[in-house]
Amino acid sequence: MISRNTLSSALLAVCVVVATLTSSADAFTAQSIQTRALTSSVTESPTALSVFGKKKEEEDLSFMEVRDLTREEMLEINARNEQVMKNELGSMTAISVLFSFPILYLCWVAFFSD
């Protein structure tokens, strides 16, 4: 029988591995687009209370750079997305197996115990 300390250590190790593999914060945005998005979020956005009674002001969008991505940029983004999807698939498989072991153990005990 597996001791409780060994089981908790293994569970902690699996959680650490899953946390390190799922670093997909910037996977779906190009770096230049991400920095522009961060600078645009710094500007003040109107709240629900400040909108009433004011005329709509024309929003200044001159900071935006509009262009198509090059083939190399698209291939780079696709490669990062593919790596993130592989990491997520591996993590989901590991969690599924981890959750299946107690169920399989209980079935084994139910069918093969005296």
Q: Name the residue ranges covered by the structural domains of the chain.
A: 71-114
Q: Which two tokens stand for residue 29?
A: 């945005």
Tens of pLDDT, residue by residue over 40-86, are 444 555 566 666 666 677 888 888 888 888 999 999 999 999 999 99
The pLDDT assigned to 97 comes to 95
